[in-house]
């Protein structure tokens, strides 16, 4: 029950950190990184805790490569 009560506090803190990051990076890059971190965390925990197929980690790596490509193209 306590974790459910703390969830809105964590969401607000996360949104605040994202707002701070938006001062330094482009909106598209920030949102892509935000989504990737959540996806990677979910896949890693799913692989470790629930023995999900490890091949999913490779697909998350492809997402990371796409994010890096977006960032590099923004610098050009």
Backbone angles phi, psi at 22, to 5 degrees: -65, -15
Residue 1 has pLDDT above 60, yes or no: no
Statement: the pTM of the whole predicted model exceeds 0.75: no
Tell me how far CA of residue 44 lies from CA of 7, 11, 33, 60, in angstroms. Answer: 20, 20, 16, 9
Contacts 24+ apart (CB under 8 A), 39-48: 39/63, 40/64
Model pLDDT, residue 76? 66
Reported as a single tens digit per residue, the pLDDT across 5-43 is 887 887 788 788 888 888 888 888 788 778 878 888 888
Tell me how far CA of residue 56 lies from CA of 31, 36, 51, in angstroms. Answer: 21, 13, 11
Model pLDDT, residue 2? 67
């Amino acid at each position: 029950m306590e974790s459910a009560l703390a969830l809105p506090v964590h969401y607000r803190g996360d949104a605040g950190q994202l707002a701070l990051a938006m001062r330094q990076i482009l909106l598209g890059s920030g949102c892509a990184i935000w989504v990737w971190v959540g996806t990677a965390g979910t896949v890693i925990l799913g692989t470790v805790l629930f023995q999900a197929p490890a091949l999913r980690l490779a697909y998350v790596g492809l997402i990371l490569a796409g994010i890096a490509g977006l960032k590099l193209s923004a610098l050009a």
